[in-house]
Amino acid sequence: MLSDSQTLPHPASSISDVIRTRRSPREFLPDPVPVEVIRGVLEDAQSAPSHSNTQPWLVHVASGATRDELSAELLAAHDEERRTPDFTDTYGDGVHLARSQHHGAALYGVLGIARSDHERRNEVVRDNLRFYGAPHVAFLFVPRLGDGVRAASDVGMYAQNFLLSLHGRGFQGIPQAVHGLYADTAREVLGVPDELKLLFGIAFGTAAPESPVRSLEIGRVPLEESVVLHDTPVW
């Protein structure tokens, strides 16, 4: 049974409802998303703001045979430890590391996987590379512009539009940085030149309604930990 905060928004829901009920599903049904929905989502995502309207995203959407080949090649790269990340994945040693550890503990807790169970933990990574069973995946590439931060933040805006548009239409997606560990493999399968760097993939489709991971309510820190108000009346 889904909790109130996980029920899909009514078509006439407010933007706030759509934003707040979005979740990252980790199990999908195999049913494909209708083409007109995919097109609508891509058009919504394309309307994202970007620095000087540079629109630095280059997006490859894989379905069917290409999706299957991509997943198989990523799994092989993972099993053979052929890691070729374009970006580092560090959390420091303070609050961000603590939040990440809390998230990991909550996720593996819901899945009933012990910290010491390396085999099952590895299967969770492999599930990521199977796109959690989703019928489609969008890989988000970005050109190396300067130190990369501005362009990457633009692609983040694109990605959030993409996720919210999916959710508002009754579908779901999950961003997956783990795909970025095997960037060369993804470029090879998708025919992407080396100059384009892989930020992450978004697996998308219909979330499996009965999945145990749907009960994961990871929550957020209170506003006061993230926001400083200066002469701004809010409450």
Q: Report the distance separating Cα 222 and Cα 84, nearest Å.
A: 36
Which listed range, 23-31, 39-47, 77-85, 146-154, lies at the site for ligand FMN (CB under 6 A)?
Answer: 23-31
Q: Least distance to ligand FMN from the beta carbon of 36, Å?
A: 26
- Does the footprint of ligand FMN cover residue 71 (CB under 6 A)? no
- Does the footprint of ligand FMN cover residue 21 (CB under 6 A)? no
Q: Report the distance separating Cα 132 and Cα 206, nearest Å.
A: 11
Which listed range, 55-63, 134-142, 175-183, 222-230, lies at the site for ligand FMN (CB under 6 A)?
Answer: 175-183
- CA nearest neighbour of 175 among 126, 121, 122, 128: 128
167-200 exposure pattern, b = at least 16 Cβ within 10 A, e = fewer: bbbebbbbbbebbbbbbbbbbebbebeeebbbbb
- Does the footprint of ligand FMN cover residue 67 (CB under 6 A)? no
Q: Where are the strands (E) in the chain, listed by range? A: 28-29, 58-63, 136-143, 172-176, 196-207
Q: Least distance to ligand FMN from the beta carbon of 31, Å?
A: 21
Q: Least distance to ligand FMN from the beta carbon of 106, Å?
A: 9
Quickly list H helices, 80-205.
Answer: 95-111, 118-129, 149-168, 183-190
Q: Least distance to ligand FMN from the beta carbon of 101, Å?
A: 12
Place of tokens 């030149």: 193
- Does the footprint of ligand FMN cover residue 177 (CB under 6 A)? yes
Place of tokens 């783990």: 178
- Does the footprint of ligand FMN cover residue 158 (CB under 6 A)? no
Footprint (CB under 6 A) of ligand FMN, residues 103-142: 103, 128
**Of the candidate residues 8, 18, 26, 183, the single one contacting ligand FMN (CB under 6 A):** 26
The smaller minimum CB distance to ligand FMN, of residues 155 and 190, is found at 155
- Does the footprint of ligand FMN cover residue 178 (CB under 6 A)? yes
SS3 percent helix, strand, coil of the chain, rounded to 5, is 50, 15, 35
- Does the footprint of ligand FMN cover residue 174 (CB under 6 A)? yes
Q: Least distance to ligand FMN from the beta carbon of 176, Å?
A: 4
- Does the footprint of ligand FMN cover residue 206 (CB under 6 A)? no
**Residue 112 amino acid letter:** G
Q: Least distance to ligand FMN from the beta carbon of 10, Å?
A: 20
143: CB partners within 8 A, 6+ apart: 56, 58, 151, 195, 196, 197
The contact set with ligand FMN (CB under 6 A) reads 23-24, 26, 103, 128, 174-178, 200, 218
